[in-house]
A and B are shown apart, each in its own frame.
Chain A
Amino acid sequence: MFDLFLQFLSNTGYFLADYRHYVMIVVGCIFLYLGTAKKYEPLLLVPIGFGILVGNIPFFKGFGIGIYEPNSVLHYLYFGVTSGVYPSIVFLGLGAMTDFSSLLAQPKLMLLGAAAQMGIYFTLLGALFFGFDPKEAASIAIIGGADGPTSIFLTAKLAPHLIGPIAIAAYSYMALIPVIQPPIMLLLTSKKERLIKMPPSRNVSKKELLIFPVAGVLLCCFLAPTALPLLGMLFLGNFLKECGVVNRLANTAQSAIIDTATIFLGFTVGCSTQADVFLTPKALGIFFLGAVAFSIATASGLIFAKIMNLFLKQKINPLLGAAGVSAVPGSAREVHLMGLKEDPTNFLLMHGMACNSSGVIGSAICAGILWSFFI
C-alpha cells in the first residue's frame, strides 16, 4: 500500500516539477495579474495567462496529456494554431468589428500604416544578424507588426517550434503599449508637433464603405496571394458588416465567432509555453528582438509622419505615426491619450484608428510577403 502511495506521489506534479515550471507559473500569474488588475488587453492576457498555468503543470509523459503529444485534447485544440485556422477566424471577426470610414475619409493616413511596417524588415536583419535561420528570423520580425494573429499565422507556417515564444512576445508587447510607446513618442516629437490638430473627417458614404473591402481584397491579395487567409477573411468580415443584408452573420462574426477563436487561440498558445520548450536562450533572443521590432515600428511611423509634414499643406499630428502598428485599438488609444495630455481639446482617436486599420492590412501583407519568400 505504501509502495502504491509512493508510486502515486512520483507521478504528481509536485514531484515532477523543476524550477523552470515554477518560473513559467509565475509568468502565467503575472499575465493574469496584468489582464485582470491592470486591464492590459484582458481579452488576450487572461486566456494566455491561464494557458501558461495549464501548460506548465508537470505530467507524466506518454499518456496523451500535453499539448505536444499526439492525440491529446490540447493537441487537437492546438491544431487551430498550427494550421493557421484561429488567426483567420480572428481576422473574420476583426473585419466585422472594424469601421474603415476614418481611413476612407483620410486615405493619406494609410501611408503611416505602411511606414510602421519598416520595423518588421529592420528586425528581420537584426534576427539574421544574431544567427537565427531565415525562417525563424522572418517569424520573429513579424512581431514588429504588433499583430498577434498575424505573428502566430506566419510562425505556424515558417517556424512552428517558435509559436509559443513569438505569440507570448507579440501579445506581451501589445499589452505593454502604454509602457513602450509613450517614451518613444515623446522622444521623437516636439510639443509643437504634438499640439497639431487634425481637421474633422468628411462623411463617408455607404457605397464607399461597401466598395472598400472588395477593392481592398482584390488589390492586396493580387499583390500578395499568401496573405489571402488573413486579408480574405478580414475583408469578408467587413463586407458582411457593411452590406447590411446579413446582419445575423455580421453580428455572429463580431461576437461569438471571434470570442470562441480568441479563447482557444489564447489558451492553447499559453499551453504551448511548456517550460522545457519555452525557457531556452532562443526565447530570450526572441523577446529582445520583439521589443526592438516594436520600438522601431513605432519610431518608423512617427518619423514618416514628420517627413510627410514637410510636403503637406495641412500638417498631420506626427503622434499618429505611432498608431501605424496594428495593435488595434491599443496604439490608437495611446496616441489619443497623449494628444489629450498636451491639449484637452485635441481628439485623435478616430484618426489613430485609421492608421491602426491600415497597420492591420500592412502587417498581413508583410506576413504574406515573408511567407512567399520561402515558398
Chain B
Amino acid sequence: MIGIENITNNNGWAMAAVGAAIVFMGLVVLTFVISQIHKILKLWEEREKYLDRFKKKAPAVEGDEFEVPIYKECRLPTVDELANTYRPLVEKLKEPFVLSQLFEIASKIDLPHPHLSIQRLQEADILVAQGDGTFTWNNLIGNEGLNNV
C-alpha cells in the first residue's frame, strides 16, 4: 500500500502532529527553565538582601497599627471652633462678601482645610447666602456658638 492511504492507515498524520507538538513543547519548557536559571541563582545569592528588606519592613507595619492617635490628631474641629476661627476673618471683610474672598484670606494664614470649613459654616447657617452670590455672617449663631442657640 502506498500514498495517502498508507499514511492514514498507519496513523501517520497523528504520529507526525503529536510528535512535532511534543518535541516543540519539551524544548519550549526547557528554554523557559534555562532562561530562568540565572535569575533564580541571582535571587538565591542575594537572598540576605531580600530577607533584610523584608525584616525591616515588618516592624514598620506593626508600628503603624499602634499609632492610632494619628486619627485623633486629625479630628475635625467643631462648628463652634470653626466659627471662632473664621469670625475675625469675616470682620476684616466688608459684608456682604463672596466666599472666594474668605477662602483667600483663610488660605493665606494657612488655616487647615478652608474649603471644607467654609462649607460646614454654610451648612450650619453661620454663613448666609444673600441670593446674589454674596454671603453675610449670621451674628445670632456665629457669635454665640451653636450650643447657645
The chain A residues found within 8 Å of chain B, CB to CB, are: 103-104, 107-108, 110-111, 113-115, 117-118, 120-122, 124-125, 128-131, 133-134, 137-138, 204-205, 207-208, 211-212, 215-216, 219-220, 223-224, 358, 361-362, 365-366, 369-370, 373
CB interface residues, B 9-66, toward A, < 8 Å: 10-13, 15-17, 19-20, 22-35, 37-38, 41
Q: Are A220 and B7 in contact (CB under 8 A)?
A: no
| Interface residues of B, count at CB 8 A | 32
Please, which residue of chain B has its CB at the minimum distance from the CB of A108?
A: B31
What residues on B are CB-neighbors of A108 within 8 Å?
Answer: 31, 35
Q: Are A117 and B30 in contact (CB under 8 A)?
A: no
A215 to B37, alpha carbons, bound, how many Å? 10
What residues on A are CB-neighbors of B34 within 8 Å?
Answer: 103-104, 107, 110, 208, 212, 215-216
A205 to B38, alpha carbons, bound, how many Å? 8
Please, which residue of chain A has its CB at the minimum distance from the CB of B16?
A: A121
**Chain A min CB distance to B31 (Å):** 4
B3 at the interface (CB under 8 A from A): yes
Q: Are A125 and B37 in contact (CB under 8 A)?
A: no
Q: Are B30 and A125 in contact (CB under 8 A)?
A: no
B2 at the interface (CB under 8 A from A): yes
What residues on A are CB-neighbors of B19 within 8 Å?
Answer: 120-121, 124, 366, 369-370, 373
Q: Are B41 and A110 in contact (CB under 8 A)?
A: no
**5 A-B pairs closest in CB distance:** A131-B2, A114-B27, A107-B35, A121-B16, A128-B12
Q: Are B30 and A219 in contact (CB under 8 A)?
A: yes
Q: Are A122 and B16 in contact (CB under 8 A)?
A: yes
Given A208-B37, A215-B33, A365-B27, also A125-B22 (CB < 8 A): no
A333 to B41, alpha carbons, bound, how many Å? 32
What residues on B are CB-neighbors of A369 within 8 Å?
Answer: 19, 22-23
Q: Are A220 and B26 in contact (CB under 8 A)?
A: yes
Q: Identify which of B3, B26, B28 contacts A129 (C-beta below 8 A).
A: B3
A134 to B6, alpha carbons, bound, how many Å? 9
Given A103-B34, A129-B7, A211-B37, also A124-B27 (CB < 8 A): no
What residues on B are CB-neighbors of A107 within 8 Å?
Answer: 31-32, 34-35
Given A103-B34, A131-B6, also A224-B26 (CB < 8 A): yes
Q: Are B6 and A117 in contact (CB under 8 A)?
A: no
Q: Are B13 and A361 in contact (CB under 8 A)?
A: no
Q: Identify which of B6, B22, B26, B35 contacts A219 (C-beta below 8 A).
A: B26
Q: Identify which of A129, A204, A211, A365 contacts B6 (C-beta below 8 A).
A: A129
B109 at the interface (CB under 8 A from A): no
What residues on A are CB-neighbors of B12 within 8 Å?
Answer: 124-125, 128, 134, 137
What residues on B are CB-neighbors of A128 within 8 Å?
Answer: 6-7, 10, 12
Given A130-B2, A131-B1, A131-B2, also A125-B16 (CB < 8 A): yes
B70 at the interface (CB under 8 A from A): no
B4 at the interface (CB under 8 A from A): yes
What residues on A are CB-neighbors of B3 within 8 Å?
Answer: 129
**Chain A min CB distance to B7 (Å):** 4
Q: Are A208 and B27 in contact (CB under 8 A)?
A: no
Q: Are B31 and A110 in contact (CB under 8 A)?
A: yes
Please, which residue of chain B has its CB at the minimum distance from the CB of A363?
A: B23
Given A124-B15, A137-B12, A208-B37, also A358-B20 (CB < 8 A): no
**Known contacts A121-B16, A211-B37; can you find 11 more A-B pairs with CB under 8 A?**
A103-B34, A107-B35, A110-B31, A110-B34, A117-B23, A124-B15, A125-B7, A129-B4, A211-B41, A215-B30, A361-B30
CB interface residues, B 75-128, toward A, < 8 Å: none
A310 to B30, alpha carbons, bound, how many Å? 22
What residues on A are CB-neighbors of B26 within 8 Å?
Answer: 114, 219-220, 223-224, 365
What residues on A are CB-neighbors of B20 within 8 Å?
Answer: 117-118, 121
A131 to B3, alpha carbons, bound, how many Å? 7
Q: Which of B2, B20, B27, B41 has most chain A Cβ within 10 Å?
A: B27
Please, which residue of chain B has its CB at the minimum distance from the CB of A203?
A: B38
What residues on A are CB-neighbors of B30 within 8 Å?
Answer: 110, 215-216, 219-220, 361
Q: Are B1 and A125 in contact (CB under 8 A)?
A: no
Q: Are A208 and B38 in contact (CB under 8 A)?
A: yes
